[in-house]
Amino acid sequence: MATPRQAAAVSKGIGIKEITTVTFEATDGRSIHPGDIIVAGIKGQDIVGTFEGLDKDGYFNIKPVYTASETVRYRPSTIKSCYRLSSYELEIDKPQEVAAEAAEEAGAGALSPAS
């Protein structure tokens, strides 16, 4: 049997890493993964975009299709429904105007850029 001093010497070579697996499930039970196109019901609006996962603060990150330059963060509790889309087609002549209108209607609290 090893003495406490010998046991300490043996355990120096052991490293422990915590691995956490987070899975996401849409309202209909289908799994969603970063890169999937989703539609999320948030504050009475449907947000269509690319799901980017959770950030380190626990916010649900979506890159809306109409503002490709900014990722938007949402608290998971504000998402009332979420569905994965198999395809989506968007035809807008002036996407920046549409994005500005959507941000104004939703209010600054709902559409805050990710940090």
User: What average pLDDT does the structure give for the chain?
Assistant: 79
Does residue 13 belong to any structural domain of this protein?
no
Element (H, E) at 20: none
Does residue 2 belong to any structural domain of this protein?
no
Does residue 1 belong to any structural domain of this protein?
no
Does residue 7 belong to any structural domain of this protein?
no
Q: In Å, how far are 15, 16, 17, 78 from 9, measured between CA atoms?
A: 13, 16, 20, 51
Q: Residue 64 belongs to a domain with what CATH number?
A: 2.30.30.100
pLDDT at 109: 45
Q: Is residue 41's pLDDT more than 90?
A: yes
More confident residue, 60 or 93: 60
Q: Is residue 79's pLDDT more than 50?
A: yes
Does residue 4 belong to any structural domain of this protein?
no
Range of the domain at 76: 22-108
Total domains in the chain come to: 1
Does residue 67 belong to any structural domain of this protein?
yes
95 pLDDT tier (thresholds 50, 70, 90): low
Q: Is residue 10's pLDDT more than 80?
A: no
